[in-house]
Amino acid sequence: MNDAAARSLAARGLDVRDEAGPPPGATAALVLADGTIFWGRGVGATGVTEGEVCFNTSMTGYQEILTDPSYAGQIITFTFPHVGNVGANPEDIETMTPAARGLILRADITEPSSWRATQHLDAWLRSHGLIGLAGVDTRQLTHHIRDSGAPSGVVAHAPDGRFDLPALRDKAKAWPGLAGMDLAKTVTCAQTYLWDETRWRLGEGYSRLTEPKYRVVAVDYGAKRNILRCLADLGCHVTVVPATTTGEEILKHKPDGVFLSNGPGDPAATGTYAVPALQRLLADTGLPIFGICLGHQLLSLALGAKTEKMHLGHRGANHPVKDLASGRVEITSQNHGFVVQDDTLPEALEPTHVSLFDGSNEGIRVKGRPVFSVQYHPEASPGPQDSHYLFERFVDAIAESKR
């Protein structure tokens, strides 16, 4: 490749699939396990990171996405081109330590233009050791993922523009992938703690629950803070326990209800310890149980269903889901790479929600019992509040069981 061609490609975003070397100005590269290379400009921290390369179609919420523990082991491609426009702040985080491995952007990080911003996104990325690259043709990369499935890949950010491409490709090939990987243990809390912070309100920020009505145990497989806030907002005094907590230990807290959180990784791998705990809880036929995302998958496994790895997964804030009982369509936020297989649901389980994108399962309930779960994230606000009723349904089930 001659210098003129390199400059032409660089002017179009530094996206070059060529092992001859980086084009002028390239300080970062995405190297996939199949040998495909995308050049770009480094953002955030320097160094090398590996993981499963996926894409998210959300137009807002990049800070919440990067701090969602469900992204453990993944490098996130943002399909929306303008990332960074609202900066970063300490309120819009889902966990203190981001679990995502890295990020890929179309355009350079934009300057913040929000009154809530306290930090430039690039500085925030560096402070958390997150490695990324900008200048990639994310549409081309998204097509590649769509056609071939979510690949293993490596992002390298080197300000001097020097890259050992064979070593990076070998590193990408060696990454084992998410199938069979238990990542809940890497993001769960280290010990039990109490949560009483309620949802954010304009002019008030976050508040505290002062008059708790119900005792809820939340099993933390990678819980997002906004989920816990939604529970507290409805009067739930929440005790958060680690993912490996047994059913007997959960019952010792004498909960009025149990919540099963979102989380990363293969549910079958996490299920080796989570399923026995949930089956112990399910033996108490009157205990209300509500699961989200990984919690939905683990509950399904505990009840006899099976899960499988998806070709692409669902990641974005524009996913239409149909409530089979009411016929109502919700616009939902989603982030998952595994799915419950509808054709494995036992007789005791009833599917309650379905994806209008691909027909995959989005919710279940146990017939005749206050036990249900959904695959998507009702605490998020893409609809903006299409799915908040699910938290109310859980609290109503608790109130009914207490009566």
Residue 197 dihedral angles phi and psi, to the nearest 5°: -80, 130
Active-site residue (options: 94, 330, 362, 379): 379
C-alpha neighbours within 13 Å on the C-beta side of residue 63 = 24
The residues, any chain, with a CB within 8 Å of residue 181's CB and separated by 6 or more, are 73, 265, 266, 269
Instruction: Compute the distance between CA of residue 192 and CA of residue 295 in angstroms, rounded to an integer.
Output: 18
Annotated catalytic, 293?
A: yes
Round the CA-based radius of gyration of the chain to a whole number and report it: 22
Instruction: Return the exposure string of 195-211: e unless at least 16 CB atoms fall within 10 Å of the residue's CB, then b.
Output: bbbbbeeeeeeeeebee
Annotated catalytic, 377?
A: yes
Instruction: Compute the distance between CA of residue 199 and CA of residue 175 in angstroms, rounded to an integer.
Output: 38
Annotated catalytic, 54?
A: no
Bridge-based pairing state of the strands 371-374 and 361-366: antiparallel
Active-site residue (options: 144, 336, 377, 388): 377
Bridge-based pairing state of the strands 74-78 and 47-56: parallel
Measured from the Cβ of residue 337, the count of other Cβ atoms closer than 10 Å reads 23
Instruction: Compute the distance between CA of residue 16 and CA of residue 350 in angstroms, rounded to an integer.
Output: 49
Instruction: Compute the distance between CA of residue 80 and CA of residue 95 in angstroms, rounded to an integer.
Output: 23
Instruction: Compute the distance between CA of residue 331 and CA of residue 319 in angstroms, rounded to an integer.
Output: 5
Give strand pairing partners of 28: 40, 157
DSSP letter (8 states) at residue 110: P
Active-site residue (options: 94, 293, 314, 362): 293
Tokens of 200: 């954010």
Catalytic residues: 293, 377, 379
